[in-house]
Amino acid sequence: MADASVSEAKGGPMLAADGTPLKKSLSRALRRQKMRALALIAPLLVFVLLTFVLPIGDMLLRSIKNDIVAETLPATVVELADWDPEAEALPGDDVWMAFYVDMWFASERKEHTRLGTRLNYEQTGVSSLFRKTGRRVDRFDTDVYADQFVALDAAWENPATFASLLDSDAADALPVTADAWARWKDFNEEEGDKVLEEDVPDFLYTALYHDLSKAPQVSGPALSAAAAAVPGFETVSLPEQFEDADEDWMDPEVWKTIQLYSPRVTSGYFANAADMQLTPEGIQQRPENEQIYGTLFKRTLFMSLMITGSCILLAYPVAWLLANLPMRVANLLMILVLLPFWTSLLVRTSAWKVMLQQQGVINDVLVWLGLVADDARLTMINNQFGTIVAMTHILLPFMILPMYSVMQTIPPTYLRAAKSLGATNWTAFWRVYFPQSVPGIGAGSILVFILAIGYYITPEIVGGNTGTFISNRIAYHISSSLNWGLAAALGTILLVVVLVLYWAYDKIVGIDNVKLG
């Protein structure tokens, strides 16, 4: 302290006991505290990052990611870029040549089925089209080119001939053949084979014919002789080969779909999630009979609000009783409230299915009481009513507990004071007690609504065709149709809707007014 005073008297910086400037010493101590605090919360931050932030980021990425077309058909995508889909004509020879090479490699790597599945989401029937073609592409009649080149010069049968030509300046005059050769070398390396010991595939001879028929001039005796002989070669039509594999290749709509979904980033998933479709002319509305997701989103919001409202009506009196009854009775009631948590969700949902069906307990009781005729039993299952009832029962404890925790903090003397000042029971409750319980209602409502809007097990069991949520469709695309891109787009839209509603709630009610006791 004396050192600090002396330093201050001399006009210099204040020093700590160890002689360092006091400001620097305080900054160091504060930095150490922050590092210790960060080390304490680091496990939680890592857990949140791995289980919450990264999955959401992956979902957002999958909703726009579209690599499979460009990776499986790289040469076709490049050639199709110049094709005019509005001309209603099939692509030219360059596209067919590129597609032949791409399909050969895709078939060998077993990637054509994945590609067909992806494009089948946009145009029905494309999946079987790619499967059938993948089985046939290796048996195309293009071996006639191999026979003619080998008959012209036996050296063409040797892979070393292609290697010497295509690893030199001659590759510039043979772009398609050079690209096919480079890809074939990479493919053999992947398989652990030596390219110079393998038989030259038919697609390389086809590519060589394609290049030589267009090359204005080539150098070297072998290429010059082949170029001179090519005009007299017997030819094979690649479009006809593909048509023999499946006549749907003659449909320009198939090629439009391939071109449309060739970019690595696409808005097609979000377009489908909004009941629209991506077309060469832009995003357009789907036919009315194909618009299902808008209806599902509206139904999900409506039913989630109904479930939240029914939980509020049922939970408020229960929470009031828990907060105002003697401790022993309140504890017994609390055990009954928590009891559903000890029972399987599937058991509780299945129980409601048994109770609500037309031959179930509730209908039998109504018939026995004479309130319902035996031939006019109520339909309370496989619809919205059944979903609302079952989910209200399941989510009710999540509304009771926040309400109870807040009501427990409201002193009962407030009501007695209000009554002593002349207020009726209703006025004392509405003007004094209810406003203080609103934070508990807000906390329970947010909790129940967010849980309800993402539920899919209960609606799947008791909802039927009219009581399912958008989450059921998301689960279907993840587990059954395997359209993860569309599922990610639907999940992203649902996330945005929840965030918007949360923002609106904060603006109207105020998130600061939400309490858990």
Supply angle C-alpha 229, 234, 235, rounded to 5: 110
Q: What is the DSSP letter of 275?
A: T
Residue 70: pLDDT above 70?
yes
Structural fold of domain 295-513? MetI-like fold (1.10.3720)
Contact 455, 469 (CB under 8 A): yes
Radius of gyration of the chain (CA): 36
Contact 348, 393 (CB under 8 A): yes
Residue written as tokens 């002989």? Answer: 229
Tell me how far apart the terminal alpha carbons of the chain are, to the nearest angstrom. 47
Q: Give the C-alpha separation, 100 to 206, whole Å.
A: 9
Residue written as tokens 């080998």? Answer: 150
What pTM value is reported for the model? 0.81
Q: What is the mean pLDDT of residues 237-261?
A: 93
Q: Where are the domains of the chain?
A: 2-62, 71-139+238-266, 143-232, 295-513
Residue 9: pLDDT above 50?
no
Residue 2: pLDDT above 60?
no
Residue 268: pLDDT above 80?
yes
Q: What is the DSSP letter of 220?
A: S
Contact 210, 176 (CB under 8 A): yes
**Over pLDDT 90: what percentage of the chain?**
40
What is the per-residue pLDDT for 167?
A: 66
Q: What is the DSSP letter of 92?
A: -
Strands 282-285 vs 276-279: parallel, antiparallel or unpaired: antiparallel
Q: Give the C-alpha separation, 164 to 167, whole Å.
A: 6
Residue written as tokens 């945005």? Answer: 496
Tokens of 510: 């105020």
Q: What is the mean pLDDT of residues 149-178?
A: 84
Q: What is the mean pLDDT of residues 108-123?
A: 92
What is the per-residue pLDDT for 112?
A: 93
User: Helices marked H in 213-344 — which ranges?
Assistant: 221-229, 238-245, 252-260, 268-273, 293-324, 327-338
pLDDT range class, residue 474, cuts 50, 70, 90: very high
Q: Give the C-alpha separation, 454 to 493, whole Å.
A: 12
Please state, rounded to an integer, the average pLDDT across all residues of the chain. Answer: 87
Asked whether the CA dihedral 198, 199, 205, 208 is positive or negative, the reply is positive
For 409-438, write each residue's pLDDT tens digit.
Answer: 888 888 889 888 888 889 988 998 998 888
**Over pLDDT 70: what percentage of the chain?**
94
Contact 467, 383 (CB under 8 A): yes
Q: Give the C-alpha separation, 300 to 283, whole Å.
A: 25
Tally of CA atoms within 13 A in the half-sphere of 237 that contains its CB:
6
For 356-382, write each residue's pLDDT tens digit.
Answer: 888 888 888 889 988 888 888 888 888
Contact 436, 424 (CB under 8 A): no
Tokens of 420: 């002593």
Q: Give the C-alpha separation, 229 to 473, whole Å.
A: 60
Residue written as tokens 């004396």? Answer: 2
DSSP string, 397-461: HHHHHHHHHHHTTS-THHHHHHHHTT--HHHHIIIIIHHHHHHHHHHHHHHHHHHHHT--HHHHH
What is the per-residue pLDDT for 11?
A: 56
Asked whether the CA dihedral 403, 404, 407, 408 is positive or negative, the reply is negative
Tokens of 133: 């073609």
pLDDT range class, residue 1, cuts 50, 70, 90: very low
pLDDT range class, residue 6, cuts 50, 70, 90: very low
Residue 176: pLDDT above 80?
yes
Supply angle C-alpha 97, 103, 107, rounded to 5: 155
Residue 513: pLDDT above 80?
no
Residue 133: pLDDT above 90?
yes
Contact 407, 440 (CB under 8 A): yes
pLDDT range class, residue 327, cuts 50, 70, 90: confident
pLDDT range class, residue 493, cuts 50, 70, 90: very high
